[in-house]
A and B are shown apart, each in its own frame.
Chain A
Amino acid sequence: MTLAGCFARVRSGERLSSEEGLFLLQNAELLDLGELANEIRFRKNPEQRVTFVIDTNPNYSNVCTIDCIFCAFYRHPGDQGEYTYSVDEMILKFKESATKGVTTILLQGGVHPDLPFEYYVDLVKRTVKEVPEVYPHFYSTSEIIGMANISGLTIPQVLQRLWDAGLRSLPGGGAEILSDRVKKKISHLKGTSADWLNVMREAHRIGYKSTATMMYGHLEKDEDIIEHLDAIRGLQDEYRGFTAFVPWSFKPGNTPLEKIIPTYATPTRYLQMLAISRIYLDNFPHIQASWFSEGKKTGQIALHFGADDFGGTLLEENVHAAANFVNKTNTDECIQLIHESGFDAAQRTTLYEILSVHPSTEAA
């Protein structure tokens, strides 16, 4: 296996094996990876344009019982600082967000042990009806599994009920690293890789769209990264339900894992992750750069390493904030950051339809 051979295979449109993916990740120079990723990015999304979405990321509850050691957000039932909002309260929040131009609401909670399934269904129904300006992008796979447990329904039944209520899109969080070796260590109560993949498979079968995420920079090895990419590439072959892949680095602040991993991964590692995912995930339409999780400057650079989307403006975010990692922006700045990077900016919907284009005035 040679680097030149792998690069040539990718350039001719062939798919990399997991051995080749690992070989590239471990041996290729950063800019050679970036160059190839960028080529693929422009092959898939030829416009000199980067999309973004105006969104918000509230949480209906922080009550959770699965004790992931990488999380600083959750509270056990009865703990100080625990909260759960009613459906009315959430609808009020969504309406307020809508007045600020929000089109996507990425909603997650903890995995609450007592909330009835009806709560979740209601929340979808009322959002669709009462706040039609926004698109619900609700509930991670762990919550879906929690709903099945609470209701006694099967996962396909839960997903069908939510679909019937009007939900069409799921966030891709909770995947962390789809390698059970790692999952056992960092989130042993959260279920296996197969559980995450299974919920996504059932959802895509019904017709849902979703994103896929990856959280790296904790206890994983390079092999686990490739295992993760391989798993989601395989699933994508089945129903093409993933819209985008979103990697981010673990933020150790205030988490139990902080004692072992005190600092987050470097920007170089992030750029490698973006580039290798763009190269490996040949069936994913979009790769998201995250100004939010990696910093605005790294976010800008990421747009040259295979990403074609800048994520959301994130009016509200609580999970990273709980780990003392806070970045804020607004729509104007988001557009400016994209322009400074040499691209036109385009506001999109949850499902990547373009709403408006803001051409770059920067010197080309």
Chain B
Amino acid sequence: MNTTIHFRDNDLIPIWEKVQNGRRLSLEEGLTLYGTRDLISLGKMAHFVQQQKSGDAVYFVLNQKIEHTNICVLSCKFCDFATKKGEPDAYEMTTDEILSKITPDIAEVHITGGMPPDWPWERYLDIVRSIHERFPSADVKAYTAVEIDFFHKKFRLSIEEVLRQLQAAGLRTMPGGGAEIFSERVRKLLFNQKIGAKAWFDVHKTAHRLGIPTNSTMLYGHVETIEERLVHMMKLREAQDETGGFLTFIPLAFQPGDTGIKPTNRFTSAIDDLKTIAVSRLMLDNVPHIKAYWVMLTEEVASVALNFGADDMDGTVGGEKIAHDAGAISPMTMAKDQIIRIIKDAGKIPVERDVFYHPLHVHSDHVVGKIPYLNSIPFYANFEKRRFRILPVTPRRMGVLSTQGELDAGLFSLMDYIHQEDELDQLGWCIATRDQVKSVMLFSKEGWRGLNGKTIGITDDTATSVQLLRVLLERKYGVRATFERLHGGVNDYSRFDAVLLIGDEALRRNKTGFDGFELVYDLAAEWYDWKKLPFVFAVWATRTTLPAETAAELRGLIETSLERSGTDFVRVAGMHGRSIGLTDFETQQYLEGFNFRLGEREKEAIAVFRDLLVETGIVQTKQPTIR
């Protein structure tokens, strides 16, 4: 996965140096990127960053838009959707009408609409609650910051109270709309009745604090300047540093329609669209995903954007009206088959996701799972892609996809390996510790024995570390605690007595400290201290259904990648380490602490752990673990 760029515009070279080193870009550098005519080099830089974050995955969701009413107390100049009560085209949907639009296959219901003067608060809650109760597998993504702020003022509830009530009704995430462009100049020109940047951020930061992740957007291509776009991105970047709650950034190309705010009714150019995708991928170094929202971008540009830094196509988008009323030329909905075709043609893996970007289904052959943490980098750093595509996915989700038969190979969490032993062939590599791990950590308010009867927030990412914790608590210390699963996005940690984190987040918190949790335990060190053995967290394996020839090809690729990676871990993983706040020295030290070969001691360690799992009733039968 090495990227070489033959620049036409040499002004981009120093920026590329910074990008490769994981360093943050400035406003001036953003202007240079936007100003370049070297579109391909810009795209390659953004594609490189996207590959670091999401590999070959491009996400989409089966979603339904609900625009419950078009009656709105505001009159924004760029909007052709809103109307006033009593107008012939005004409509208001009942909860039953809303429910009738949703089908059981839908994974995300996206609710946003006008702001009518006379709806009671309960009606908004009822929409969320009814959908959540009737369609529990459909996650509700509802109400933009503008609407939340409207509820806050109209119903005299604090923003936090509004969000808490919605969350209790079943709200899972929030859309990013209403941000428009964070510029007072433009706000006064185009949408002076709408909330400004401060109120928008207040709502989103409050949501993040409550454990509600959100999206972010930028409306571009109207009267804003390039500098205003970049300032917009930088404000989001700053907020993301603070909360980490933004899932994705969605540049929205302005649809001129009849809005009459532009001297011409021209759409944004394809070049501007692609630059905006690429620049946002490069500027927003801390936002996990960039969405090519085909409704606004057109199917044409969205499909090319998948090689310019975007890793999300949104979805099938049933029921969209707001953009189409403003003259959007894209079709009203896109068939799942067409989305899959576009993603595959772009050389990517179509990944059907839920609202949190957890993969539900993978629509591609030859998919290799990658644990998206620093310690797996050496396996993939020199992975020459031909036939295989790489899907970064948490260990637990990798296990699920494997049981669904939707993944051909990967570095499986040990628990998943044990559970699926009959369907997997191990390849001779693993992630094993020597005496400590630094990235499977229990952050606690109490010492081990003090945790008896307490509640521990456990990572949603893997089962292995959780079972190791259980075994340590029960067998080493003789205590029992209640486990409660954290969720992938943002969490309210304060209610736990201890928190088990793994991977990059554990590494980062281990370094910076975790407010409120004074005691920090390294689970592999605890294990070593007890058993004098390494601990095997993950095992490389292919599914037995993979033809022998293909499996052999994969084995060769991994072998070569490991060899080329060598022991200079800074070279292969320095950038990743820096992106989570480690110095190069720390990255080197951390990776030197692992053994990647599955040797006799590692096999013994697995057997010992397995016996403990059987004794504690976690695994039912005894059988040889490693073939």
On A, residues with C-beta under 8 Å from B are 27, 29-32, 34-36, 38-39, 42, 48, 263, 265-269, 271, 294-298, 300-301, 304-305, 336-337, 340-343, 363-364
Contact = CB atoms under 8 A, between A and B. Distances in A.
B6 interface: yes
The 10 closest A-B pairs by CB, nearest first: A297-B270, A340-B269, A342-B37, A300-B270, A266-B345, A304-B39, A268-B345, A30-B307, A297-B300, A35-B40
Interface string B395-421: 000000000000000000000000000
Contacts of B306: 268
Nearest to B6: A35
Interface string B298-311: 10110110111000
Contact of B44 (A31, A267, A271, A296): A31
Max chain B C-beta neighbours (<10 A), residue from A36, A263, A266, A297: A297
Contacts of A341: 269-271
A298 B301 CA distance: 7
Nearest to A333: B266
B39 A266 contact: no
A268 B301 contact: no
A31 B47 contact: yes
B327 to A, nearest CB: 15
Nearest to A263: B338
Nearest to B307: A30
Contact of B342 (A30, A268, A343): A268
B300 A298 contact: yes
Contacts of A296: 270
Given A267-B303, A268-B304, A364-B35, A300 B346 contact: no
Given A29-B347, A297-B298, A268 B273 contact: no
Contacts of B77: none
B39 to A, nearest CB: 4
25 contacts: A30-B307, A30-B346, A31-B40, A34-B40, A35-B6, A35-B41, A36-B6, A38-B40, A48-B37, A263-B338, A263-B341, A265-B345, A266-B303, A268-B307, A268-B342, A268-B346, A268-B347, A294-B300, A300-B269, A300-B270, A301-B301, A304-B271, A340-B271, A342-B271, A364-B37
Contacts of B271: 300-301, 304, 340-342
Max chain B C-beta neighbours (<10 A), residue from A29, A42, A48, A301: A301
A342 B39 CA distance: 9
Contacts of A269: 345
B369 interface: no
Contacts of A48: 37
Contacts of B272: 340
Contacts of A268: 303-304, 306-307, 342, 345-347
B300 A295 contact: yes
B281 to A, nearest CB: 13
B270 A301 contact: yes
B150 to A, nearest CB: 35
Interface of B: 5-6, 8, 35, 37, 39-41, 43-44, 47, 266, 269-274, 298, 300-301, 303-304, 306-308, 338, 341-342, 345-347, 386
A311 to B, nearest CB: 16
Max chain A C-beta neighbours (<10 A), residue from B8, B37, B301, B342: B37
A363 to B, nearest CB: 6
Contacts, number: 91
Contacts of A266: 303, 341-342, 345-346
A296 B342 CA distance: 18
A27 B386 contact: yes
A128 B299 CA distance: 44
A336 B268 CA distance: 12
Given A29-B307, A35-B40, 12 more contacts: A29-B47, A34-B43, A263-B338, A266-B303, A301-B271, A301-B301, A304-B40, A337-B269, A340-B271, A340-B272, A342-B37, A364-B37
Contacts of B266: 336
Contacts of B308: 31
A267 B272 CA distance: 17
B5 A35 contact: yes
A30 B44 CA distance: 10
Contacts of A364: 35, 37
A267 B304 contact: yes
Contact of B347 (A30, A35, A304, A363): A30
Nearest to A340: B269
Contacts of B300: 267, 294-295, 297-298
A323 to B, nearest CB: 17
Nearest to A39: B6
B301 A31 contact: no
A363 B227 CA distance: 13
Nearest to A297: B270
Contacts of A267: 300-301, 303-304
A100 B307 CA distance: 40
B392 to A, nearest CB: 18
Max chain B C-beta neighbours (<10 A), residue from A39, A268, A342: A268
A239 to B, nearest CB: 33
Contacts of A340: 269, 271-272
A32 B346 CA distance: 13
Contacts of A294: 300
A4 B307 CA distance: 20
A295 B303 CA distance: 13
Nearest to A266: B345
Contacts of A336: 266
Nearest to A300: B270
Contacts of A305: 40
Contact of B304 (A29, A298, A342): A298
A36 B43 CA distance: 14
A305 B43 CA distance: 12
Contacts of A42: 8
A29 B51 CA distance: 12
A263 B303 CA distance: 15
A297 B273 contact: yes
Nearest to B297: A297
B307 A31 contact: yes
A335 to B, nearest CB: 13
